[in-house]
Amino acid sequence: MPKTTKRHIAVTGGAGFIGSNLLLHLVPNHPDSLYVNIDCLTYAGNLANLQAIENADNYVFEKIDICDYNALKECFDHHGIDSVIHLAAESHVDRSITGPAEFVASNINGTFNLLELARVAHEQSREFRFHQVSTDEVFGSLGATGYFTEESRYRPNSPYSASKAAADHLVRAYHKTYGLDTVTTNCSNNYGPYQFPEKLLPLMIRNATTGKQLPVYGDGRQVRDWLYVEDHCEALELVFYEGETGETYNIGGHNEIENIELVRMLCRTLDDLLGGGPRENLIEFVKDRPGHDRRYAIDPGYIKKKLGWVPRYTFEQGLRLTIQWYLDHEEWLEGCLSGEYRRYYEMNYGKR
């Protein structure tokens, strides 16, 4: 990416799980970049996550739906946006099965709107970098062995992964056809602070600490490759600022674990920390997710070789930090489920 003294970067989905962690990382680290957080605050967006940076000189929040092209255009013009780090998406596989329409709208049409704005800038010979933040789920399911590499075929199996795959293809096409400066990252399952408690880890932590059933889908032998969110954010920072144009990078930390084993580890850790239990008794095998991918695993060799990225957290460290964070932020967890987010927005931004 060509170096400019000050970049004006739209971070879409900045109020979500990864977006919040990313902005909390980037804003203090790059005082000469302006970060414009574009988020429409769905159930998954929470501005309270960003209190530590909300008054920073190089941070602005704009409540905009990426499906609204005109609102996006006005915002891009107003802030002189010259790059996008695109995270805004509907992100939960189970929701995509019961209601795929929003996934097509936000993940495909929303990405298209952003690309169109990027194309206008590029065709006016303005520097513009577009970073598509995507998932390993676009590659579908692995068998018992092997890894996803940058060469793996796209074979998405859920409406969520299909919508992300479509968006990745549009990004690729805008690079090949229009010469837009793009980078794409495909990352494995993240865990850490601020993850909405519909996803495996925070859901299980909440249920296990409140004595509720721990619903494990199918036989629980599905494998996910877990990465601590801070490690993902460092990889995103590196790819955005230093990645090669037109390239894609797979991000993962070689942390494959079966769901059932993860839930058992979690139960044992909570028993250690809080006493009581055994919480494993709360585990219940429930009906499987339709089209459930069996195994994901990333080969992160390329990003390591090209950009020198390696994760800093072991799984044991990351898991301890994550569990402790949720134990210390019980009100955050409950707020997610009670609509507390909305009240925070009204209080802090409603009159602006």
Q: List residues binding ligand NAD (CB under 6 A).
A: 13, 15-19, 39-42, 44-45, 65-67, 87-91, 106, 110, 133-135, 164, 187, 189-190, 196
Residues in contact with 153: Cβ distance below 8 Å, sequence separation at least 6, in sequence order: 139, 140
Q: How far is the CB of 262 from ligand NAD (least distance, A)?
A: 14
The answer to whether the beta carbons of residues 62 and 26 sit under 8 Å apart is: no
Q: Which of 186, 222, 248, 269 binds ligand TYD (CB under 6 A)?
A: 222
Per annotation, catalytic residue among 39, 65, 82, 137:
137
Distance, in Å, from the CA atom of 122 to the CA atom of 275, rounded to the nearest integer, reads 59
Q: Which of 25, 131, 164, 199 binds ligand TYD (CB under 6 A)?
A: 199
CB closer to ligand NAD out of 135 and 209 = 135
Active site residue 137: yes
Q: Which stretch binds ligand TYD (CB under 6 A): 15-23, 126-134, 213-221, 272-280?
A: 213-221
Task: Classify the C-alpha dihedral 185-117-173-2 as positive or negative.
Answer: negative
CB closer to ligand TYD out of 12 and 91 = 91
Q: Quick check: bond before 278 cis, omega within 30? A: yes
Which of ligand TYD, ligand NAD, none lies near 222, with the C-beta cut-off 5 to 8 A by kind?
ligand TYD
Residues in contact with 43: Cβ distance below 8 Å, sequence separation at least 6, in sequence order: 196, 341
Q: How far is the CB of 199 from ligand NAD (least distance, A)?
A: 7
Extract the tokens encoding 86: 């695109």
Per annotation, catalytic residue among 35, 59, 147, 160:
160
H or E element in which residue 184 lies: strand 181-187
Distances (CA, A) of 129 to 76, 83, 180, 242, 245: 13, 5, 7, 11, 8
Q: Is 203 in the site for ligand TYD (CB under 6 A)?
A: yes
Active site residue 296: no
Phi (first) and psi of residue 42, to 5 degrees: -70, -175
Distances (CA, A) of 73 to 66, 69, 249: 10, 6, 29
Contacts with ligand TYD, 223-262, as mask; x by CB under 6 A: -x----------------------------------x---
Q: Which of 9, 50, 81, 200 binds ligand TYD (CB under 6 A)?
A: 200
CB closer to ligand TYD out of 138 and 238 = 138
Task: Classify the C-alpha dihedral 14-313-195-86 as positive or negative.
Answer: positive
CB closer to ligand NAD out of 174 and 228 = 228
CB closer to ligand NAD out of 87 and 142 = 87
Q: Which residues of the chain form contacts with ligand TYD (CB under 6 A)?
A: 93, 189, 199-200, 203, 215-217, 222, 224, 259, 289
